[in-house]
């Protein structure tokens, strides 16, 4: 399951979850919309049940965007114990899977 968060809930989610992957998106971003069903499917995959899947509207949440060093969209960031592990602009599912596999390795 994917949860939408904001600047107000960002720190709490990172503190309460050991492994986190965040999708940063914007409503106008076509690639972001196309990736949404893949992100949801991955969130329901047994192999990734130890990861909290979150999404943030990058335009409406500048503090979260800055903490993750978002530079383009869609942007994915992984966090372990509240610390940024990796962030990447990509629309390739294989690359996100690699990021998540490294997170839980």
Question: Which of the residues are catalytic?
Answer: 29, 32
Give the whole-angstrom CA distance, residue 22 versus residue 3: 9
Nearest to 97 by CA among 86, 25, 10: 86
Tokens of 7: 């600047």
Measured CA to CA, the distance from residue 12 to residue 30 in angstroms comes to 29
Beta pairing partners, 3: 54
């Amino acid at each position: 399951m994917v949860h939408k968060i904001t600047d107000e809930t960002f720190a709490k989610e990172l503190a309460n979850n050991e492994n986190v992957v965040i999708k940063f998106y914007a409503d106008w971003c076509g690639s972001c919309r196309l990736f949404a069903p893949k992100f949801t499917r991955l969130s329901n995959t047994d192999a990734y049940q130890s990861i909290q899947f979150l999404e943030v509207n990058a335009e409406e949440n500048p503090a979260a965007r800055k903490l993750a060093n978002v530079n383009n969209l869609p942007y994915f960031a992984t966090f372990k114990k509240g610390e940024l592990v990796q962030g990447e602009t990509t629309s390739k599912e294989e690359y996100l899977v690699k990021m998540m596999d490294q997170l839980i390795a």
